[in-house]
């Protein structure tokens, strides 16, 4: 199967996984016991997937042909959902874990490479498949100031007043070894939503100045 076909299949599966999750969580409001049984079964399936599913190719195969070790968690559990719905919900959660792990590894490598070259600032953009919908820039983005272990984090958000897309910009603390964001650097100001690229560039420049001045 060619690359385009693989991408299409993954897109369709992602849609199916997320649709399955969407069936589970509203159950909490109408049938708490069934919801708890479903969540418990999905958590057990995620545990199984963590053992031998470490990339998207593995996850696709498990989703298309669920092994008995997954399906047994749904056997005899009355949730009102199909066993395959529970498997799909577990796949959705495992996909997020895999994506997070890949992102952290990419950040850690980029930071280490930049530091080895003596670069004070290292920009870590997402993979193209991870771009936020509607963004004109590569977001979410992390621009790390290596000497201070501070960074400027940008993502896409929604303006609560207008409902229009807006850039979310904030200074954060970063673990340079793992690439993990440890929390907001509140001393440099609160997170802001800015409406356009120019305002985003202005805010990034201001935060960069504050970070360099503080280090």
Q: Residue 129 has which token pair?
A: 């498949």
Nearest to 102 by CA among 67, 127, 69: 127
Specify the higher pLDDT residue, 43 or 69. Answer: 43
* pLDDT tens digits, 13-28: 999 999 999 999 888 8
- Return the pLDDT at 1: 45
CA distance 119 to 191: 26
* pLDDT tens digits, 122-133: 988 766 555 545
Q: Residue 36 has which token pair?
A: 């708890």
Contact (Cβ atoms closer than 8 angstroms) between residue 170 and residue 182: no
- Return the pLDDT at 150: 95
CA distance 17 to 169: 30
User: Is the peptide bond preceding residue 45 cis, with omega within 30 degrees of 0?
Assistant: no
Task: Give pairs for 177-185: CB < 8 Å, separation 24+.
Answer: 177/108, 178/104, 178/107, 178/108, 179/103, 179/104, 179/105, 179/106, 179/107, 179/108, 179/110, 179/111, 179/124, 179/142, 180/104, 181/142, 181/151, 181/153, 185/150, 185/211
**pLDDT band, very low/low/confident/very high, at 161 (cuts 50, 70, 90):** confident
**pLDDT band, very low/low/confident/very high, at 40 (cuts 50, 70, 90):** very high
- Return the pLDDT at 47: 94
pTM given for the model: 0.75
- Return the pLDDT at 138: 60
Phi and psi, residue 160, nearest 5°: -65, -20
Handedness of CA 187, 189, 191, 197 (dihedral sign): negative
Structural domain boundaries in the chain: 3-100, 120-214
Contact (Cβ atoms closer than 8 angstroms) between residue 184 and residue 172: yes
* pLDDT tens digits, 52-79: 999 999 999 999 988 888 888 887 678 8
Give SS3 for 44. helix
**pLDDT band, very low/low/confident/very high, at 190 (cuts 50, 70, 90):** confident
Count Cα neighbours of 86 within 13 Å in the Cβ-side half-sphere: 26
- Return the pLDDT at 42: 93
- Return the pLDDT at 67: 85
């Amino acid at each position: 199967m060619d690359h385009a076909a693989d991408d299409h299949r993954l897109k369709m599966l992602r849609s199916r996984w997320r649709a399955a999750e969407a069936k589970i969580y509203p159950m909490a409001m109408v049938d708490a016991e069934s919801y708890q049984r479903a969540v418990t079964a999905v958590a057990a399936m995620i545990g199984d997937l963590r053992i031998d599913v470490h990339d998207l190719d593995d996850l696709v195969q498990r989703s298309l042909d669920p092994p008995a070790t997954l399906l047994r968690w749904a056997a005899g559990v009355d949730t009102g959902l199909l066993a395959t719905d529970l498997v799909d919900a577990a796949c959705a959660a495992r996909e997020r874990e895999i994506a997070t792990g890949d992102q952290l590894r990419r950040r850690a490598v980029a930071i280490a490479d930049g530091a080895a070259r003596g670069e004070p600032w290292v920009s870590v953009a997402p993979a193209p498949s991870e771009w936020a919908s509607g963004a004109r820039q590569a977001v979410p983005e992390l621009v790390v100031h290596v000497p201070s272990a501070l960074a400027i984090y940008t993502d896409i958000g929604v303006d609560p007043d207008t409902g229009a897309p807006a850039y979310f910009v904030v200074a954060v603390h970063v673990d340079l070894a793992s690439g993990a964001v440890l929390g907001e650097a509140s001393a440099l100001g609160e997170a802001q939503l800015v409406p356009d690229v120019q305002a985003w560039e202005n805010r990034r420049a201001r935060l960069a100045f504050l970070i360099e001045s503080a280090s």
